[in-house]
Amino acid sequence: MNRDWTRNAFVYLLIMVSLAVLFFNVPWSSQTPDGITMSDLARSVQDGNVQSLDVRGAEVRVKLRNGVEYLTRRESRVPISETLVGLGVTPEQLARVDIHYAAPSNSGSWFALLINLLPLLFIAGLFFILFRQTQGSNNQALSFGKSRARLFTGDKPTVTFDDVAGSDEAKEELEEVVEFLKEPQKFAALGARIPKGVLLVGPPGTGKTLMAKAVSGEAGVPFFSISGSEFVEMFVGVGASRVRDLFEQAKRNSPCIIFIDEIDAVGRYRGTGLGGSHDEREQTLNQILVEMDGFGTDTNVILIAATNRPDILDPALLRPGRFDRRVTMDRPDIQGRKAILGVHVKGKPLAPDVDLNRIAKQTPGFVGADLENVVNEAAILAARRNKRAISMAELQEAVERIGMGGPERRSRLMSAREKEVVAYHEAGHAVVARLVENADPVQKITIVPRGQAGGYVWRVSEQDRVLATRSHYLDNIAVALGGRIAEELVFGHISTGAGMDIQQLTQIARAMVTKYGMSEKMGPLQFGQQEELVFLGRDLAEQRDYSEEVAEGIDAEVRSIVDKAYARVKEMLSGNLNKLHAVASALIERETLSHDEFEQIFVGA
Ligand code: ADP
Ligand code: MG
Ligand code: ZN
């Protein structure tokens, strides 16, 4: 605000000065003394009053015998003596005057030139500032076409593989690239073909950018990075020229790494409907392909690109000689999570009770960025509580915050009735989870509302699951039903709180039938072409490739799975009403139950 004001004042001042200078420009530049013409001068010479004349270009400095000096101008390029003779001065009279011709005075004309240019300079300055101003609000109006690739030179402190925890397989694959960048001759001598392009694939926050930087840090080579979305920006045709600039700059600094983040922004399948056909994007992509093909074996530049959407990339990008090497950065497993936590707690004071193993255990599905966030959030919490070190309590709370999105909303008032309903609902989930065989164990139950959820049962798998069985799915459906059925048994009606549960269990049941071939009636077939975005875990589109009859069969089968689960859970909870009541009343009283507390109540009831 304040800076804006001063800048505006400055601009107005510049405008005023420029106008003033323009206005007064004329008198400044013509400084001929009044009334002294050539004929005046001729008369003075005839009278013998003139001692000398210094002629510099058009300027004549006249020195009189009485010591007075003045300047006058001559009109033409004719030598001044001739002019004077023409005005009636005799050669004898002229001989008494010292006439010097000098090179045109630079000091004088420089000054005049400067005076003349001053307004121009002011105006130029004005425009410069105006442009700077427009640039501030909307960038790159002037620098279009110039690649905005940033150069991270090898001698800057860069990250190394040590900073990337967990992804050991990815590191191993990239080790080769590092070696090549360090000693390209070694590979060239054997005629080895080194990959030009490496595609880092993985969900957001798994450390793809970090890994690319680490490769350049390990090899000690410059790192040029640009983001796919930056390519597609302002003017048509700019993307392609940016690519050209980027590669040119990189070739000059080879060996080096070019990192293209979010390559799917430019590299998505050409000519498909997604996002419409976009000429600019296609040109940019084509330019990337052209540049890659232009690499000789002697060009020691390696391209690393990152994406979380490998499925939509143009096949031309993935052909041999282009991004033919694919390195997957998956969500970290429990060991990986522990290692990542280890990296991020480094240098932060930790209380002795901190057990990173337990935090890692509680955070399945978290990616590196989440875990970094957990540690940071915990540090902030600890600071706000005026603690000297981060303790388990803060880490735990941070995990819950980040896992649930948003801090606990203890301030939200809950009526006694509402609280009771939520308590029975969550107790229902927990009791069913404890009773079935293949569900993940209960870690924590709470009826403290947070984010969208009124309360939740937090279950954590013992180990990371790779293969899920049919009974695992069935038990998960049962657990999801537990909340709703508990409400039904105790209150005789159900609340809207079960909405998410219903959605979840329907998805599981449907997937069992259509995807995993787990239903007896429909058999081991897949129904519908499911274009699954592997790394987003979401169905993009389901194309029906089956008849109406089959559709009915699927619906019936899904329904039967859920119906059976419903009957099973109802029986289960009816037979364990005492346990349900015990857990629910403990929840109403304490709001939160840990694993051990829950276990005690469950067994004791
Ligand atoms: P991506 O590019 O895959 O979206 P980033 O590389 O930008 O993810 O990761 C964001 C941040 O998360 C990193 O700066 C880093 O602090 C943290 N992070 C992610 N993965 C890891 C990891 N494997 N080890 C350590 N830190 C990680
Ligand atoms: Mg990134
Ligand atoms: Zn629920």
Q: Are 207 and 334 in contact (CB under 8 A)?
A: no
510 lies in a domain?
Answer: yes
CB 228 within 8 A of CB 263: yes
The alpha carbon torsion through 470, 472, 477, 479 (nearest 10 deg) reads 160
Which phi and psi angles does 302 have, rounded to 5°?
A: -115, 130
Give 451 Cα–ligand 1 centroid separation in angstroms: 25
What is the 225 CA–ligand 3 centroid distance (Å)? 45
What pLDDT score does 371 carry? 92
**161 is a domain residue:** yes
Q: Could you tell me if 266 and 342 lie in one domain?
A: no
Q: Are 160 and 221 part of one and the same domain?
A: yes
> Which residue among 328, 356, 386 closes a domain?
328
Could you tell me the CATH number of the domain that includes residue 351? Answer: 1.10.8.60
Sign of the alpha-carbon dihedral angle for 204, 210, 216, 219? negative
285 with 159, same domain: the answer is yes
Same domain, 497 and 432: yes
DSSP string of 156-172, one letter each residue: S----GGGS-S-HHHHH
Distance 164 CA to ligand 1 centre (A): 8
Bridge-based pairing of strands 98-102 and 50-56 is: parallel
Q: Do the beta carbons of residue 478 and residue 569 sit within 8 Å?
A: yes
- Together in a domain, 170 and 120: no
Residue 68 lies in a domain: yes
Report the candidate in 601, 593, 571 with the shortest Cα–Cα distance to residue 426. 593
**pLDDT for res 57:** 76
**CATH code where residue 440 lies:** 1.20.58.760
Residues enclosing ligand 1, CB less than 6 A? 164-167, 202, 204-210, 306, 340, 343, 368-369, 372
Last residue of a domain, one of 47, 76, 105: 105
Give the span between the Cα atoms of 87 and 444, in whole angstroms: 115
Query: Does residue 536 share a domain with residue 391?
Result: no
338 and 316 assigned to the same domain: no
pLDDT at 480: 93
Cβ–Cβ under 8 Å, residues 284 and 260: no
- Full strand arrangement of the beta sheet holding 223-227: 150-152, 223-227, 256-261, 301-307, 197-201, 325-328
For residue 160, what is the domain's CATH number? 3.40.50.300
**pLDDT given at position 155:** 46
Q: Which helix (H) or strand (E) holds 443?
A: strand 442-446
Answer yes or no: pTM beyond 0.85.
Answer: no
Give the position of tokens 């109403």.
588
Which residue of 211, 367, 372, 373 sits with most ligand 1 atoms within 8 Å of its CB, as the best mutation to test the pocket? 372
| Ligand 1 atom 11: residue of nearest CA | 369
Task: Tell me how many degrees the CA angle 126-129-133 measures, rounded to the nearest 5.
Answer: 135
Answer whether residue 469 is part of any domain: yes
409 assigned to some structural domain: no
Task: Assess whether 255 and 115 both reside in one domain.
Answer: no
Residue to probe by mutation, ligand 1, list 168, 206, 363, 373, most atoms within 8 Å of CB: 206
Q: Does the annotation mark 426 as catalytic?
A: yes
Burial of residue 263 (CB within 10 Å: 0-12, 13-18, 19+) is buried
Give the span between the Cα atoms of 459 and 441, in whole angstroms.
Answer: 5
Separation of alpha carbons 448 and 343, rounded Å:
32
Per the structure, the complete domain to which residue 381 belongs is given by 334-404
Residue 591: inside a domain, yes or no? yes
pLDDT tens digits, 114-124: 777 887 888 88
Q: Mean pLDDT of residues grouped by 10 in the chain (605 residues)?
A: 58 68 48 64 85 82 83 75 82 83 61 77 81 54 48 57 88 90 84 83 89 90 83 64 82 86 78 55 81 76 88 83 84 84 92 90 81 93 93 90 62 68 93 91 80 70 70 92 94 79 89 83 72 45 72 90 95 95 91 90 91
> What is d(CA 54, CA 64) in angstroms, rounded to the nearest whole number?
12
How far, in Å, from the CA of 60 to the mean position of ligand 2?
73
Q: Tell me, yes or no, whether 475 and 537 share the same domain.
A: yes
123 and 84 share one domain: no
Please give the Cα distance from 594 to 426 (Å, whole number): 13
DSSP state, residue 254: -
Q: Would you list the DSSP string of 75-143?
A: SSSS-HHHHHHHTT--HHHHHTSEEEEEPPPHHHHHHHHHHHHHHHHHHHHHHHHHHHHHHHHSTTSSS
- Determine the pLDDT at residue 6: 59
pLDDT of residue 167: 83
pLDDT for position 474: 92
CA-proximal residue: ligand 1, atom 12 (nearest): 369
Residue 362's pLDDT is what? Answer: 77
Among candidate residues 420, 426, 487, 557, the one labeled active-site is 426
Domain count, the chain: 5
- Asked, for residue 411, whether it belongs to a domain, the answer is no
- How far apart CA 103 and CA 57 sit, in angstroms, is 7
Last residue of a domain, one of 374, 404, 434: 404
CA-based torsion, 266, 272, 278, 279: positive or negative: positive
Of 351, 373, 352, 349, the closest CA to residue 363 belongs to 373
Same domain for 49 and 7: no
Same domain? For 474 and 543 the reply is: yes
* 410 lies in some domain: no
Q: Provide the token pair at 318.
A: 């993935």
